[in-house]
């Protein structure tokens, strides 16, 4: 008889085949994924994260630079109806979040969508998904870290009256030579991560509460400058503008999947991961809509244009004082640091899972026996991302993170349908409502958002995928532990 919570053996496990064909079809049984949870080279990850901390990880990765600068891009496209655009983008993200919640509760492991794809669609698809995640997380850390220097200079200028020279605070291509603040914030995040998952989660929780307080402060002060006339023409650019702005704003929601990378360090992952994912999405959506509504109420929507329309600028305009803008800049500094910390965490855990499967070198899967963290993995990834942020022009590579994320989201929606068909008897602590309809809608929204991206982004993404397939053909396909088990 099976113990409670145990699932029946995976009767669809692959049989030995030729290496190339097997790579297309071999899947890692769910039971094996779960049984290996937490196990690494030389030690084990520790289950220490509560539902609250998991929620803060998800919010920390999602609620970041987007809301501080995205209004300058989205308001000119939708006008005051940008609030509806945020709701539309949130609903778009919701479908994929539901799929993540079901799979996170069913397969609570560190690999996130990489592991879900491995269990449902095979090793090759899993590799492609994992390679996309490396692009998403790695370049996102670097791109977010680049922007940290701007807000740090605002904070220094408002408090001390000094700023760092452009040569040392801007990325190459934007007038700088070496972005020292970008490297510093990544190294600081690395130090927290090396201390352990629980310690990192505590620091992140404090930073998330500060960033939420900063946005609430903006709403409170911005409301004092609220002018109802700014909403007299609510949808001046037509209903189509809401969808166009929503496509831009969708990327402000990317990051809620970070909690799923903590599947092997959560105290009660099957219960807490789905709750954390859904709760974080609700909190982020409410904050986004409130901030957008107050911002447009305080400023005529025609004044929003590019980098000039920041929350700091709006607050300074409403109060006529630089103090509040400086205070908000301080909140932005902490906010961005939180994003760097949580996204860097997710990157290391995905590499940990891929290393355990033999698809990347073993060094990424070594766990320090004292801290219970993949220390070497963390140092390598942090230094790589820090140098990338400080010294390399990212250019179109940043845009390619969006398409990589959408591709991973699309695969998760497919994985839900496949796993329900192949393993209907599995214990699911959370199920996406309305059968396959919502996962199909989630896939459709992701596919449409990918379609709207420009040709240059597709070219960069294609080049990244080509490099990944070459690496898999040279290294991963031969060293895969699942392939070794077939021999």
pLDDT digits (tens, 9 = 90+) for 403-437: 888 888 999 999 999 999 998 888 888 999 988 99
Provide the CB-side half-sphere exposure for 22 (13 A, CA): 19
pLDDT on residue 154: 79
Mind giving me the DSSP string for 2-58? PPTT-----TT------HHHHHHH----HHHHHHTTTEEBTEE----B-HHHHHHHH
Average pLDDT over residues 128-133: 90
What is the spatial distance between Cα 349 and Cα 367, in angstroms, rounded to a whole number?
11
Q: Is 442 a residue whose pLDDT tops 80?
A: yes
Give the pLDDT score at 38.
Answer: 66
Looking at residue 4, its pLDDT comes to: 37
* DSSP 8-class letter at 229: G
What is the value of pTM for the model shown? 0.87
Distance of CA 422 to the CA centre of its chain: 28
Q: How confident is the model at residue 21 (pLDDT cuts 50, 70, 90)?
A: low
In the prediction, which pLDDT does 51 show?
92
Residue 14 has pLDDT above 60, yes or no: no
As a whole number of angstroms, the distance between CA 129 and CA 136 comes to: 10
Parallel/antiparallel/unpaired status of strands 39-40 and 43-44:
antiparallel
pLDDT of residue 1: 33
Rounded-to-integer distance, Cα 412 and Cα 443, Å: 8
Q: Indicate if the pLDDT at residue 475 is higher than 80.
A: yes
Please say if the pLDDT value at position 12 is more than 70. no
H-only helix segments in 36-122: 51-62, 65-69, 71-78, 82-106, 113-120
Convert the pLDDT of each residue in 347-390 to its tens digit: 999 999 999 989 999 999 888 888 888 999 999 999 999 998 88
The CATH class of the 42-479 domain is mainly alpha
- The whole-number pLDDT of residue 487 equals 53
Q: Which residues contact 151 (CB under 8 A, 6 or more apart)?
A: 68, 329, 332, 333, 336
What 3-state DSSP class applies to 107? coil
In this structure, are residues 406 and 81 in contact, taking their beta carbons and an 8 Å threshold?
Answer: no
300: how many CB neighbours lie within 10 A of its CB? 14
Residues 14, 26 contacting (CB under 8 angstroms): yes
Structure tokens at 481: 């532990």
* Residue ranges of domains in the chain: 42-479
Which residues is 172 bridged to in the sheet?
176
- 177: which DSSP letter? S
User: What's the pLDDT band for 6 if we cut at 50, 70, 90?
Assistant: very low
> Percent of the chain having pLDDT more than 90?
29
Question: Is the pLDDT score of 44 beyond 90?
Answer: no
């Amino acid at each position: 008889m099976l113990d409670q919570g145990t699932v029946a053996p995976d009767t669809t496990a692959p049989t030995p085949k030729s290496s190339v064909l097997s790579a297309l079809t071999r899947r890692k049984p769910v039971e094996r994924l779960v049984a290996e949870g937490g196990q690494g080279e030389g030690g084990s990850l520790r289950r220490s994260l509560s539902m609250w901390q998991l929620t803060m990880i998800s919010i920390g990765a999602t609620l970041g630079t987007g809301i501080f600068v995205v209004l300058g891009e989205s308001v000119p496209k939708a006008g005051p109806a940008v609030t509806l655009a945020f709701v539309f983008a949130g609903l778009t993200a919701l479908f994929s979040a539901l799929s993540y919640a079901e799979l996170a509760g069913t397969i609570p492991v560190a690999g996130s969508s990489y592991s879900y794809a491995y269990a449902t669609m095979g090793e090759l698809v899993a590799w492609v998904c994992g390679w996309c995640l490396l692009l998403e997380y790695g370049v996102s850390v670097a791109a977010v870290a680049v922007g940290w220097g701007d807000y740090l200079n605002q904070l220094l200028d408002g408090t001390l009256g000094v700023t760092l020279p452009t040569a040392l605070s801007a990325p190459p291509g934007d007038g700088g030579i070496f972005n020292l603040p970008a490297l510093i914030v990544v190294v600081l995040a690395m130090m927290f991560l090396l201390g352990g998952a629980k310690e990192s989660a505590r620091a992140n929780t404090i930073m998330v509460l500060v960033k939420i307080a900063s946005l609430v402060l903006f709403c409170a002060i911005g409301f004092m400058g609220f002018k109802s006339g700014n909403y007299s023409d609510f949808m001046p650019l037509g209903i189509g503008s809401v969808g166009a702005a929503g496509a831009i704003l969708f990327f402000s929601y990317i990051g809620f999947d970070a909690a799923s990378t903590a599947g092997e360090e959560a105290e009660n992952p099957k219960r807490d991961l789905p709750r954390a994912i859904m709760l974080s999405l609700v909190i982020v959506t409410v904050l986004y809509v409130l901030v957008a509504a107050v911002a447009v109420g305080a400023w005529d929507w025609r004044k929003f244009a590019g980098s000039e329309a920041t929350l700091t600028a709006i607050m300074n305009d409403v109060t006529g004082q630089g103090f509040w803008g400086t205070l908000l800049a301080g909140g932005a500094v902490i906010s961005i640091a939180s994003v760097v910390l949580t996204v860097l965490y997710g990157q290391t855990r995905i590499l940990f899972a891929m290393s355990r499967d033999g698809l990347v070198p073993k060094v990424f899967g070594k766990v320090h026996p004292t801290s219970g963290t993949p220390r070497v993995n963390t140092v390598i990834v942090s230094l790589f991302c820090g140098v990338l942020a400080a010294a390399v022009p990212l250019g179109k590579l940043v845009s390619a993170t969006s398409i990589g994320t959408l591709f991973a989201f699309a695969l998760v929606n497919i994985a839900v349908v496949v796993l329900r068909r192949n393993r209907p008897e599995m214990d699911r602590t959370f199920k996406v409502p309305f059968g396959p309809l919502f996962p199909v809608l989630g896939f459709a929204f992701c596919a449409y958002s990918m379609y709207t991206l420009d040709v240059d982004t597709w070219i960069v993404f294609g080049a990244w995928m080509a490099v990944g397939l070459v690496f898999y053909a040279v290294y991963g396909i031969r060293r895969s532990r699942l392939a070794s088990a077939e021999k």
